[in-house]
Chains A and B, each alone.
Chain A
Amino acid sequence: MSLLHWAILSPFLLAVIIPVLYKLFRRVHTGWFVLALPVVLFSYFFLKIPAVRQGQEIKETLKWIPSLNINFTTIIDGLSLLFALLITGIGSLVVLYSIFYLSKKKEQLHNFYVYLLLFMGAMLGVVLSDNLIVLYMFWEFTSLSSFLLIGYWHNRERSRYGAQKSMLITVFGGLSMLGAIVMLYIMGGTFSIRGLIAQAGTIVDHPLFLAAMLLVLLGAFTKSAQFPFHIWLPDAMEAPTPVSAYLHSATMVKAGIYLVARLSPLFAQSGVWLWLVGGIGLLTLLWGSFNAIRQTDLKGILAYSTVSQLGLIMSLLGVGAAAVHYPQLGNENIYIAATMAAIFHLINHATFKGSLFMMVGIVDHETGTRDIRKLGGLMSFMPITFTIAVIGTFSMAGLPPFNGFLSKEMFLESMVSVLSLDLFNMSTWGSLFPVLAWIASVFTFVYSMMVVFKTFTGKYQPEKLPKKPHEAPFGMLLSPIILALLVILFGLFPNMLTETLIKPAAASVLGDVLPADYELHIAFWHGATPALFMTIGIIAVGLLLYVLWPKWKGLYKAFPEKLSFTNLYDHALPAMENGSFNLVKLFMTGFIRNYLVYIFIFFIGSLGFTIYLKNAFNYSTIDTAPIGFYEVVLAAVIAIGAVSILFVKSRLTSIIVLGSVGYTVSLFFVLFRAPDLALTQLVVETVSTALFLLCFYHLPKKFRKEERLKFRGTNLLISLGVGTVVTLIALSAHSTKLFDTISKYYLDTAYTEAGGKNVVNVTLVDYRGLDTMFEITVLGIAAIGIYSMIKLRLTKRGGKKANENK
């Protein structure tokens, strides 16, 4: 156990202690106990920056299941460190915020912090694991803890709905990812990500490669709320706001981004990866930004905004994957910049979206509503919150001097660079990339303006607000202020990030493609590039659209709610339930008759088909004995008896005829020289006939209709089929005897070895006595069972006897 392992496992350990602390110290807000841990972890990871900056990888291994190649291997490199810093840093701020957000008296705080710590530990595990199985384990842990956090207010119906929806979708993706992991293991023979990347050149040609890639992407897209799996994220907004800020903006939804970035060196060789990651990302960006505008709930806007920003990062990763195909360009490789932009925007998004969620939480907390139709004119009541909102939204919209502007510029530049990409038909369809990116950026601008101006400016409507608005306490404002400061700091001095975080992270994503002396310089003024003109266009068109919003509001009626994917999900789930219910109802009829029909049809089908398939029917008369006269007569008697059972009218007659069939069988035993069998058969047949008569006697009088069996065509066919198949198999089995029997040994040694002349009895009690013992047991159990069934008749509650013959 190294320090790194302790770092990952420490949230789990603290989660164990938290409920105890909660019970012991009821006066202190439990969050204060939690706060220390992410701060310590953040400092721990912060101190790793110098080492990672120099290109070191800190690798620690803890043996878990070595025989299956599953070890808890953790590696800190640029990408993991970046994510670990995000998780612990924003984690600390969220815990701080939640201390003031969640009430000590009303809330079940121990539950909240246990879930949150579980989530934090799981997320750290995801980003730091090198072993794919361990990564998957932590991945599912994040799904699970996120489920618990979304459903935190579990007495609300919408919370439970959102939790279930996110659980179903993310676990669906997680399971497909597990499939991909297994395929990767088949291809590469290792679960280690580094080990797989080292074999990237050979794995590409494997037939399973494409399937593994698609499944990995399914996992990443569901987790990162990409189109069309984004539907769970808006419904996850039922969670408490600190959870939304933490999970659904900064960390968990970026797990998919992390996975794509992490496995990029492995999959980027293929054009499909580039197209899918880039294309779906762009589609998500467009769809998310388009839908964000129509939302009236602030958290709804931010949820769709998160979806669209994640799409942006994803599309940049897709374009960045093109760098692998131009290693010869070196420092001139423009696609490296796309990866850099993705990582930069990842950081930026975490900062401004975290602050925005907290801002919305404050507005909700202080006014009692999040509906922008009710809000307005809050600027004078909540000036600090307003400032935070302005910084966050302007950064989101991509305005200078905030960090969003820089990453948006880099994003547009990368999308323009797609035009010069002549790989995989990019030159023809690639021109769509910058166009769509530009349109989506316009939408982004519009909804960003809506978030800030519809909430804080305009008319103040006190009659619509449940509470009288006022500024939030300082403690609640602290975290968003820190994040907003970071937004400005990263905006003004972006280059403090480039060498320390972005470049090492890009080195993990790009692998060997990144030249060691690559110079990344982010600046506000970088010349009159196409991206700059696009930004000016975005601001101009965006302003125009925002001002004219009431005029083109009607456009959204052309895209009714019914056509959304949420609606599809809402209908598909009950449809699936009904479908399976109806399907089961179709064949599980409750009638034994039907189940017998299935069993026999399967019997005929499988055996008959096998005989046909293997050409197994075989008939020879070499080994057969001559047919004697008595056998023919007895066979005729049995046949007449068996057939007449089907046609007799009374049940009593069929019992008697059945008895006569049994007696004739015993006669067969005599004829075939089996005296012991004949004796037993006679006695057993007598007893069972007597039992049948007993049953017959107790039949209820009311239903004792004496009538013939009804004729059913299917029954006839099935019974004929079963008979035929069994006959065919018996004939074939008899005609192909492969070995002599072993009975000669018994005949020779029954007396010499076991001291008995009756070979049957010697076999039963001596050679194979074990079988006999258990047959005796069976009879014993049957006897005890019958006795207890007759004797033990429990009376129903209420004293009414339940001993009617049913």
Chain B
Amino acid sequence: MFQIIILIALACISLSMLALLYRVIKGPSIPDRVIALDAMGINLIAVIALISILLDTYAFLEVILLLGILAFIGTIAFAKYLEKGEIIEYDRNK
């Protein structure tokens, strides 16, 4: 029973990820895509958590944490890039 619930949850998240992927590909502007990617990252966290339950293992909890950090850094970096045109402000000719 529990397993079926998890499977249903996985299917839902997969559907939402497909929808997000559609947005990534289609998305008329770049912020759309970035937001979609960020959401996909969070969705991935959910997927990995659910799969960890299914596989009955602790091995993937680090992956979840890492994804959280990466999604955050990635989105911030993108945001800065869109805002300033540069991610790390450093003049290499100095």
A653 touches B33 (CB 8 A): yes
Min CB–CB distance B64 → chain A (angstroms): 10
**Bound: A690/B62 CA distance, A:** 22
- The reply on A427 being an interface residue by CB < 8 A is no
Whether B24 pairs with A682 at a CB distance below 8 angstroms is no
17 sampled A-B residue pairs with Cβ under 8 A:
A633-B14, A637-B21, A653-B24, A660-B37, A678-B60, A678-B63, A679-B62, A679-B66, A682-B63, A682-B67, A689-B74, A690-B74, A690-B77, A690-B87, A694-B87, A697-B85, A790-B92
Give the B-binding residues of A (Cβ under 8 A): 629-630, 633, 637, 640-641, 644, 648, 652-653, 656-657, 659-660, 663, 666-667, 670-671, 673, 675, 678-679, 682-683, 686, 689-690, 693-694, 697, 790, 803
Q: Are A641 and B92 in contact (CB under 8 A)?
A: no
Question: What are the residues of chain B within 8 A of A686 when measuring CB–CB?
Answer: 70, 73-74
Interface size range of chain B in the complex: 35 or more
Which of B37, B62, B86 is within 8 Å of A675, CB to CB?
Answer: B62
Judge whether B25 and A657 touch: CB under 8 Å.
yes
Please indicate the chain A residues that have their CB under 8 angstroms from the CB of B60 in the complex: 670, 675, 678
Other A-B contacts than A652-B30, A667-B47, A670-B51, 8 sampled, CB-CB below 8 A, are A630-B51, A653-B24, A657-B24, A659-B37, A663-B40, A670-B60, A675-B59, A678-B60
CA A629 – CA B7 in complex, angstroms? 9
Query: How far does the alpha carbon of A694 sit from the alpha carbon of B86 in the complex, in Å?
Result: 9
Query: Known interface pairs A660-B40, A673-B55. Does A644 touch B81 (Cβ–Cβ under 8 Å)?
Result: no
In angstroms, Cα B82 to Cα A659, docked, is 18
Interface flags for B44-55 (1: CB within 8 Å of A; 0: not) read 100110011001
Name the contact of A670 in the complex, choosing from B21, B63, B70, B85 (C-beta under 8 A): B63
What's the nearest-Cβ distance from chain A to residue B16, in Å?
Answer: 12
Q: A652 to chain B: which residues have CB within 8 Å?
A: 30
Known A660-B37, A663-B41; contact A679-B63, beta-carbon cutoff 8 A? yes
Tell me, rounded to whole Å, the shortest Cβ–Cβ distance linking A635 to chain B. Answer: 12
Chain B interface (Cβ within 8 Å of chain A)? Answer: 7, 10-11, 14, 17-18, 21, 24-25, 30, 33, 37, 40-41, 44, 47-48, 51-52, 55, 57, 59-60, 62-63, 66-67, 70, 73-74, 77, 81, 85-87, 92-93
- Which residue of A is nearest B40, CB measured? A660
Contact B81 A667 (CB under 8 A): no
Q: Which residues from chain B contact A629 at a C-beta distance below 8 Å? A: 7, 11
Q: Give the distance in Å from the alpha carbon of A666 to the alpha carbon of B63 in the complex.
A: 10
- Report the Cα distance A292→B57, complex, angstroms: 99
Question: Inside 8 A of B93's CB, which chain A residues have their CB?
Answer: 803
Nearest residue (CB) in A for B59 is A675
- Report whether A660 and B70 are in contact in the complex, using a CB–CB cutoff of 8 Å: no
Bound form: Cα–Cα A682–B63 in Å: 8
Q: Within 8 Å CB of B87, what residues of A?
A: 690, 694
**In the complex the two chains form, what is the Cα distance from A657 to B57 in whole Å?**
30
Report B76 CB to chain A, min CB distance, Å.
Answer: 12
Shortest Cβ gap from B80 to chain A (Å): 11
From A630, A660, A667, B24 is in contact (CB under 8 Å) with A660
Q: Which residues of A contact B11 (CB under 8 A)?
A: 629
Q: Which residue of B lies closest to A671 (CB)?
A: B51
Establish whether residues B18 and A637, one from each chain, have CB atoms under 8 Å apart when the complex forms.
Answer: yes
Complex CA gap A603/B21 in Å reads 34
Q: In angstroms, how far is the closest chain A Cβ from the Cβ of B11?
A: 8
Write the nearest CB–CB distance from B51 to chain A, whole angstroms: 6
Complex Cα distance, B67 from A615, in Å, reads 47
Bound-state CA distance A683–B69 (Å) is 10
Chain A, residue nearest B41 (CB): A663
Query: Nearest Cβ distance between residue B88 and chain A, in whole angstroms?
Result: 10
- The answer to whether A683 and B59 touch across the interface, beta carbons within 8 angstroms, is no
In angstroms, Cα B48 to Cα A641, docked, is: 20
Instruction: Please give me the residue from chain A that is nearest to B73 by CB atom.
Output: A686
Chain B residues with CB under 8 Å of A694's CB are 87
Bound Cα distance A671, B48 (Å): 8
CA distance A697 to B86 in the complex (A): 9
A660-B40, A790-B92, A803-B93 given; A682·B21 CB < 8 A = no
- B-side contacts of A690, CB under 8 Å: 74, 77, 87
Shortest Cβ gap from A627 to chain B (Å): 15
A659 and B25 alpha carbons, distance in the complex (Å): 12
**Distance (whole angstroms) from the CB of B67 to the closest CB of chain A:** 6
Residues of A within 8 A of B55 (CB): 673
Interface centre among A656, A683, A693 (most CB of B within 10 A): A656
**Contacts A670-B60, A678-B60, A697-B85 known; A653 to B67 CB distance under 8 Å?**
no
What residues of A have a CB within 8 angstroms of the CB of B73 in the complex? 686
What B residues does A630 contact at CB under 8 A?
10, 14, 51
Chain B residue with the shortest CB-CB distance to A690: B77
Taking a contact as CB atoms under 8 Å apart, the answer to whether A663 and B25 are in contact is: no
Provide the bound-state CA to CA distance between A686 and B17, in Å.
18
* B1 to A: closest C-beta gap in Å: 18
Contact in complex: A683, B70 (CB < 8 Å): yes
**A670 adjacent to B48 (CB under 8 Å):** yes
- A180 to B63: give the CA distance in the assembly, Å: 70
For residue B81, which residues in chain A have a CB less than 8 angstroms away from its CB?
693, 697
Measured in the bound complex, the distance between the Cα atoms of B7 and A687 in whole Å is 32
**Complex contacts, A637 vs chain B, CB 8 Å:** 17-18, 21
The interface residues of chain A lying within 8 Å CB-to-CB of B25 are: 644, 648, 653, 657
Note all chain B residues with C-beta closer than 8 A to A656. 24, 33, 37
**Measured CA separation A683–B93 after assembly (Å):** 29
